Amino acid sequence: MMTAEIAFAVQDLHKVFFSKGRPVHALNSIDLVVEQGSFTCILGPSGCGKSTLLRILGGLEEPTSGSVLVSGRPAIEAKDQTAFVFQDHGVFPWLTVLDNVAFGLEMAGRRKSERRDIAAHWLQRVGMEQFAGAYPEQLSGGMRQRVAIARAFAMDAPYLLMDEPLGALDAQTRRLMQEQLLQLWQDERKTVVLVTHAIEEALLLGDRVVTMTARPGRIKEDDVVPLERPRTLALEADPQFIAMKSAIWQTLRDEVNEAMGQSA
């Protein structure tokens, strides 16, 4: 495979934190190659290092050792290639919805009229155009998360890193948002790496599901999801989907048990 087709190339990545003078080995010898235009989901028990891995991919955290390349450049120098969506939406309360979506474009040096046009386009894509002038406090959690997703898609960055973007939503809103995210991705085909705790969500959205062990997080299994696109929520009744969900849970359950026995 040519380097140009690879979004993320991670080799023998280790991450050790020091907490109260004690080492916490968060990630252990991670090898991962993510192709451009693919949707990769990362599953793993609490505390296994999923967020740490995502933050390292986005250049927000430095590896202790190992190599992390983003479009062939060290991740720490390639922050402009990635946009994040976090669980707690991270929208700015003092900006309107439109200005929140346009915010990243201002940082990227786009002209004001251009910023507003791009932001309005993405608000329309997530069905939030009528809230352009509203402030985040006037919105529900699901709406705020749609603003965060619109902001990430509006950025020029080719790669999106999503850390449990739907994790804080109620079950029904989460279903609708899964459908919306699926649709957006099917239209745009940006490279996405998404961390989730939900196996169904990973199978519905991903081309591939990477399952990690309890801390120190290693990659335990890497499954291609062979289910056809375009996908809808109806896929969850598909026998192949059900079989994969059960197999991944078998892989994950020992790790969840292990993680439950670990101290923080």
Ligand X SMILES: Nc1ncnc2c1ncn2[C@@H]1O[C@H](COP(=O)(O)OP(=O)(O)OP(=O)(O)O)[C@@H](O)[C@H]1O
Sort 91 into a burial class: Cβ within 10 Å, 0-12 / 13-18 / 19+. buried
Number of residues that bind ligand X (CB under 6 A): 14
Task: Give the Cα separation of 123 and 109 in Å (integer).
Answer: 20
Instruction: Confirm or reject binding of residue 63 to ligand X (CB under 6 A).
Output: no
Task: Give the Cα separation of 51 and 30 in Å (integer).
Answer: 14
Task: Give the Cα separation of 75 and 68 in Å (integer).
Answer: 6
Task: Give the Cα separation of 251 and 178 in Å (integer).
Answer: 24
Instruction: Confirm or reject binding of residue 166 to ligand X (CB under 6 A).
Output: no
Q: Which residues in the 3-42 window bind ligand X by CB under 6 A?
A: 17, 19, 24, 26
Instruction: Confirm or reject binding of residue 250 to ligand X (CB under 6 A).
Output: no
Task: Give the Cα separation of 14 and 31 in Å (integer).
Answer: 10
Query: Which of 215, 223, 231, 235: binder of ligand X (CB under 6 A)?
Result: 215
Instruction: Confirm or reject binding of residue 48 to ligand X (CB under 6 A).
Output: yes
Q: How many residues in total does the chain contain?
A: 264
* Closest separation in Å from C-beta 75 to ligand X: 15
Instruction: Confirm or reject binding of residue 257 to ligand X (CB under 6 A).
Output: no
Determine the residue type at 135. Y
Nearer to ligand X, 46 or 186 (CB): 46
* Closest separation in Å from C-beta 255 to ligand X: 11
**Interacting residues toward ligand X by CB under 6 A:** 17, 19, 24, 26, 44, 46-52, 215, 264
